[in-house]
Amino acid sequence: MSRPSQLLPAWGTTGIGSLPHTQAELGLQMALQVDVPYVPQLPVGHPTEFMIAEALSGLPGLAVDDEGMCTVDLARWEIARDSFGASIEAALSAGDLSAFEPTPEACRSWKPFLWEVEHRKLALAKAQLAGPATVRWVAKTSAGDPVSEVALLDQQIFRFLLAKYLARAVALRKSGATPILYIDEPGLYALDRRDPRHLVVLQELKVLVMALHREGAVVGLHCCSNTDWAALMDLGLDVLSVDARLSLDAVLDDTQALGRFVGAGGLLGLGIIPTDLSATYDVAVLVDAVDASLRAALGPQYARGQLPCLLTPACGLAMRSTLEAERVFEQLRAAQKRLTELTAPA
């Protein structure tokens, strides 16, 4: 069995990124009540905790508006560019990455979560950060262009994010848990392998995955939109996290890429409970559809329980109410119970 298969609980529950709580302690307690506890992002009333803002926190010239949209003032960035870049490279070279852990402004839950991991002696702990493709395609320069259009800035942001990911992995490991790091890449809906720059992005993601593996992390990638799934399944990931209703069949349809992914020990993270405010659904129907799709695609391997999956909401929950978030996690536990029953040995 692969290392992730041995570590992660079959049909174990966890969360995806954000929660709607305005009181950090309440949000943290919800995030600790799943099988794989995770660091919650709490952006309501704190726009610097939105995913792009959190990822870029500390970048010279960064401005964040009330909606969490990020703009980099190129003139201010250029003044600090060389010294800031040198600090990143020195940290990566020396392995002292503590300066790149989340600040309270970027993630209020980070330090309390580490405390909980250590004092509860948690075996697994998950953190998540916006991925390098999404960050650089979404954030804008003061000229109005994506930051990916400024070559030196684009490269520096990748190295900056690499340091941030590794800092999270090291801190979680020092707290006593196996770190599980999710790369949050909703922007990969735009991935096009005909674009040479997108091929570079894929290579950078491979570098990020390998670097996190060297730090002992289990590495997942979450994309809540449809994308080139074959390209992602060839990145060396441990977990591919998808919106099950939107994307599972598309993932399973690419049998060659799926075979390589599963054969290398890859697992699926199933966003089985919708987070779209307009969605109507029945949990049992959703679960039965997922079960049928997995049985059809994987056959005896799935039936023998050799492909344990993680279960999550389809995406982050910051835009829901706290009551709706609680209901989503109740439904997640119901889905877990049903899938456990459906796949129990006869």
CATH number reported for the structural domain that contains residue 232 in this entry: 3.20.20
> Cα(49)–Cα(69) distance, rounded to whole angstroms?
11
Kindly report, residue by residue over 157-195, the tens digit of the pLDDT.
999 999 999 999 999 999 999 999 999 999 999 999 999
Looking at the structure of the chain, the number of domains it has is 1
Rounded distance, CA 11 to CA 273, Å? 13
Q: Tell me which residue of 4, 30, 3 sits closest to 17, measured CA to CA.
A: 30
Q: Two tokens at 339?
A: 């899938």
Q: What is the pLDDT of residues 230-274, one digit of tens each?
A: 999 999 999 999 999 999 999 999 999 999 998 898 999 999 999
The Cα 12–Cα 180 span in angstroms is 13
Per-residue pLDDT tens for 126-161? 999 999 999 999 999 999 999 999 999 999 999 999
pLDDT tens for each residue of 275-327: 987 778 999 999 999 999 998 988 876 655 556 689 999 999 999 999 999 99
Residues 6+ apart with CB under 8 A from 85: 156, 159
- Of all residues in the chain, the percent with pLDDT exceeding 90 is 88
Cβ atoms 241, 222 nearer than 8 A = yes
Phi, psi of 291 (to 5 degrees): -60, -45
- Per the structure, the complete domain to which residue 292 belongs is given by 3-342
